[in-house]
Structure 1
């Protein structure tokens, strides 16, 4: 699992003069059953969220309102994705380190997850994450 497996997912839009509607179906728009949904909001300016990876969990991240950046790292390289459209999701496979930052005022980040919450599924230390990938830990002066 690397950054080559990360992708934007265009979600369906039903256009209507009264307002648009977008929907997401598990195993159709996302490659997993949706077992959990959570959302981040009222994130203070300058704050970041995330700072972890998952052993098994897959996610689809959607900017429901406003904008933010998702920084993903597969242990060898990183990439920043700007999220600002509610009809695009960002598919994040397992074993990808993620940080979410640059939240605009009033932004809402919704996350669809393939698994129920399980603390044992988390890597919360970047060095342990790299070792879990079979990579050497980064020397302290380079981290």
Structure 2
């Protein structure tokens, strides 16, 4: 597992183009994403008080975008914890590998778009927090 910290994650402004008929934000492999997007998914209709995520990845990188509404992402590297509030569709949170992440405090009607560097692989997940803590402390 990569030895990253919560401080290696950052908010990326993907920029927006404003026209009289609305805004557009373009997301492309290369120009504004440092990895090749291999999977895209989104979370929506998350009930109030529900927490999503609750896992870490060995290799996967993600961009998480609040395309509608707002939510918070909790990042944990085993030592430090950081909360990031997302509520703008032109801003993405770049999450590097090796961090525990949870999403919570979803507003009504929120949509979380996730751009991922790998296709789904259960072997890339760490789903038990105690196991995660043991791995990152080595």
**TM-score with structure 2 length normalisation?**
0.95
2:70 counterpart residue number: 67
Quote the offset at 1:12 in angstroms: 2.0
Task: Confirm or deny that 1:13 pairs with 2:25.
Answer: no
Distance 2:133 2:51 in 1: 21
User: Bigger radius of gyration, 1 or 2?
Assistant: 1
Q: Deviations over 1:51-72 (max 9, x none)?
A: 0000000000000000000000
Distance 1:80 1:10 in 2: 18
1:122 counterpart residue number: 125
Distance 1:117 1:90 in 2: 20
Indicate the SS of the match to 2:55. Answer: strand
Distance 1:114 1:22 in 2: 20
Calculate the aligned-residue CA RMSD, in Å: 0.8
Distance 1:12 1:81 in 2: 19
Structure 1 unmatched ranges of 5 or more: 136-143
Quote the offset at 1:50 in angstroms: 0.3
Distance 2:129 2:29 in 1: 30
Q: Deviations over 1:92-135 (max 9, x none)?
A: 00001000000000000000000000001000001111222135
| Count of aligned pairs between the two proteins | 135
Structure 2 unmatched ranges of 5 or more: none
